[in-house]
């Protein structure tokens, strides 16, 4: 993967003036953060790739409207979040989970300790990350966005409110509600967060493998995620109120799995042979 460039004011100005190389550098500089937001909002890597490409196309076509009233990264997140909250194809694919539904699914097929997967199994970590991401689908989209921006991507509350175009007070309320639900569910259900909880990755893995949710083939997107053992240890050493956020951040960078820059530029330009990356 090409090294991510630092986006400068001059680069933005050049791209707005028609400099194709500057535009390509901008796309390459934002694609990882856009992808991470998409995959945390959707929890499905394939759907997130498609959403990432659509968002990048929107950013390219709207770049001429950027006037610097906000930070460029804030402007990018605003376009991306608006797409993820309003696009029909995204809404149609949202599973509409609830925490009760997710808990019932987790409990189904748990094995006893004698049948549990070994603690050093590589698939445990993939299960941990996928479960962590899927948990956020239990929040409605507005609260999910507030939580992802604040507690996962760690934007300041003022910037997150600006991204969502709501008041800081409304954002704080929305984040507090989302945080409370995620924290409560994690403490109650997750064996990584709470030793002795009903669901643990070793006890859940056999059912996840049987359902095809985890396979023996490692997902390259998750290669940089902290390993299972260190995550468990870190969670046990963390104050209870902070465990949920710590686990939600322990997914690795979730960088874009492909380099979107040239492909999306060719799509914007209308090239007949432009590939769809997802």
CA–CA dist 278, 273 (Å, integer): 15
* Contact residues for 261 (Cβ-Cβ < 8 A; gap 6+): 24, 25, 27, 28, 31
Q: What is the mean pLDDT of the chain?
A: 90
- Bridge-partner residues for 199, per DSSP? 190
Torsions phi, psi for 203 (to 5 deg): -80, -25
The domain defined by 99-249 carries CATH number 1.10.10.10: yes
Q: How confident is the model over 178-229, as pLDDT tens digits? A: 999 999 999 999 999 888 888 999 999 999 988 888 887 878 888 889 898 8
CA–CA dist 200, 192 (Å, integer): 7
CATH topology of domain 9-93+256-269: Rna Polymerase Sigma Factor; Chain: A (1.10.1740)
Whether 61 and 269 have beta carbons less than 8 Å apart is answered as no
Average pLDDT of span 9-19: 95
Query: Domain boundaries in the chain?
Result: 9-93+256-269, 99-249
pTM of the model: 0.90
pLDDT for 37: 98
CB-side neighbour CA atoms (13 Å) of 98: 3
Whether 260 and 53 have beta carbons less than 8 Å apart is answered as yes
CA–CA dist 247, 193 (Å, integer): 8
pLDDT for 2: 43
Q: What is the DSSP string of 222-276?
A: GTTSPPHHHHHHHHHTS-HHHHHHHHHHTT-----SS--HHHHHHHHHT-TTPPP
Average pLDDT of span 8-29: 94
Residue count of the chain: 278
């Amino acid at each position: 993967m090409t090294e991510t460039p630092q986006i400068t004011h001059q680069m933005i100005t050049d791209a707005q003036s028609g400099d194709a190389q500057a535009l390509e550098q901008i796309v390459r500089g934002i694609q990882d953060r856009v992808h991470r937001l998409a995959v945390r909002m959707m929890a499905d890597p394939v759907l997130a790739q498609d959403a990432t490409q659509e968002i990048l196309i929107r950013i390219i076509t709207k770049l001429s409207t950027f006037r610097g009233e906000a930070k460029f990264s804030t402007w990018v997140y605003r376009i991306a979040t608006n797409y993820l909250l309003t696009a029909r194809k995204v809404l149609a694919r949202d599973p509409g989970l609830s925490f009760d539904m997710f808990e019932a699914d987790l409990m189904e097929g748990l094995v006893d300790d004698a049948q549990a997967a070994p603690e050093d199994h590589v698939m445990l970590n993939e299960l941990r990350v996928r479960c962590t991401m899927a948990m956020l689908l239990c929040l409605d989209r507005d609260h999910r966005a507030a939580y992802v921006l604040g507690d996962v991507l760690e934007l300041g509350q003022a910037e997150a409110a600006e991204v969502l175009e709501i008041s800081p007070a409304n954002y704080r309320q929305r984040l507090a509600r989302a945080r409370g639900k995620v924290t409560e569910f994690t403490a109650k259900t997750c064996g990584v967060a709470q030793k002795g909880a009903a669901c643990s990755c070793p006890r859940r893995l056999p059912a996840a493998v049987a359902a095809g949710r985890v396979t023996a083939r490692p997902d390259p997107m998750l290669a940089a995620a902290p390993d299972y053992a260190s995550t468990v240890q870190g969670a046990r050493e963390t104050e209870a109120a902070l465990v949920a956020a710590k686990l939600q951040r322990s997914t690795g960078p979730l960088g874009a799995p492909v380099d979107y820059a040239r492909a999306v530029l060719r799509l914007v330009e209308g090239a007949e042979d432009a590939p769809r990356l997802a």
